[in-house]
Amino acid sequence: MIQIENVSLSYREVPILSDITLSLGKGGITALVGPNGAGKSTLLSLIARLQPLQTGRILVDSLPVNSTASRILARRLAILRQGGAIASRLTVRQLVGFGRFPHHQGRPCAGDIAAVEAALEQFELQALAERFIDTLSGGQRQRAMVAMTFCQGTDYLLLDEPLNNLDMFHARQLMRSLRTIADERQRTAIIVLHDINQAATYADRIVAMRDGRVIADGTPATVLTEDNLEAVFGYRMQIRQIDGTPLVLQHL
């Protein structure tokens, strides 16, 4: 369980997050949605201890993120940030292999190698395994990064816009993989999404944010209402129901 208690953050006196309190239970997929600058990515990087907390506290399985050893947290949660350009010339297999670093600190055992192979297979990267990542397309690189994050084998996965650069096929594939590990292995995914319909279809819970505050929080059916969406995104959009799942006509 991830507990976020009274977290506020400001940068040069501009408030980014204002008094956020959330509790994210174990298992399932939680989607963070909201317009640009809502504070979603900041919240994610605070949970992943990439930025120091200013006020409030965050606990991951009751370990406070700001005072727990980084190595221990790395076995509980993995984070994928957006747009982290990798300049190193590593092969896809080597890169994915570094996802196991928290477990072996540089001396991999057979289990680690098997985990890497499994991740490569899951994201259909075997054919690219020996290619250097700087020779890949943006989407292939994104898949390699996602595979590395999966390979870390943690209970919690924090993904910041993982669908960036992915074509429809691989975007769907990724969301389905998340669904699978959530259902079969009780993993927890917290994921920033811009495509609200992906959230509607695959998430168990949607947290909608705007201006550093949580505007709505609940199942897709309860959050995705016309009033809520207007409050978050600033315009009215139509919503249809298809087989009980809301479909937002966001583009109209």
Partner 1 sequence: MTDIRTSGKWMTKLAACAAFVMLVILSIFIGAGEFSPWQAIHDPAALQLFFASRLPRTVAAALTGAALSIAGLIMQALVRNRFVEPSTAGTAQSAALGILIMTLVFPAASLAMKTLFASILALLGTSIFMMTAHRLPPAQPYLVPLFGLVYGGVIGAVVTFVGWQTELLQFIDIWTNGEFSGVVRGRYELLWGTALMAAIAWWVADRLTVLSLGRDVSIGLGLSYQRTLQLGLVIVSAISALTVVIVGIIPFVGLVVPNLVSRILGDNLRGTIPWVGLSGATLVLGCDVLGRLLRYPYEIPVATVMGVVGAILFLRLMFTRATHA
Q: Write out the residues near partner 1 by the rule CB under 8 A.
A: 45, 48-50, 69-75, 78-81, 84-91, 94-95, 98-99, 101-102, 105-106, 130, 132, 149, 152
Cβ contact 149:82 at 8 Å: no
CB of 79 to partner 1, least distance (A): 4
Rounded CA-CA distance 197/195 in Å is 5
Minimum CB–partner distance for residue 193 and partner 1 (Å): 19
Beta bridge partners of residue 59, listed in sequence order: 3, 64
Q: What are phi and psi of 33, to 5 degrees?
A: -125, 165
Q: Where are the beta strands (DSSP E) in the chain?
A: 2-11, 14-24, 28-33, 55-60, 63-64, 77-80, 156-160, 188-192, 205-210, 213-218, 238-242, 245-249
Residue 140 or 149: which CB sits closer to partner 1?
Answer: 149
Of the pair 132, 194, the CB lying nearest partner 1 is at 132
To partner 1, the closest distance from the beta carbon of 151 in angstroms equals 11
Minimum distance from residue 115 beta carbon to partner 1 (Å): 14
* Cβ proximity to partner 1, 145 vs 206, nearer residue: 145
User: What is the CB neighbour count within 10 angstroms for residue 130?
Assistant: 10
Q: Which is nearer to partner 1, 158 or 209 (CB)?
A: 158
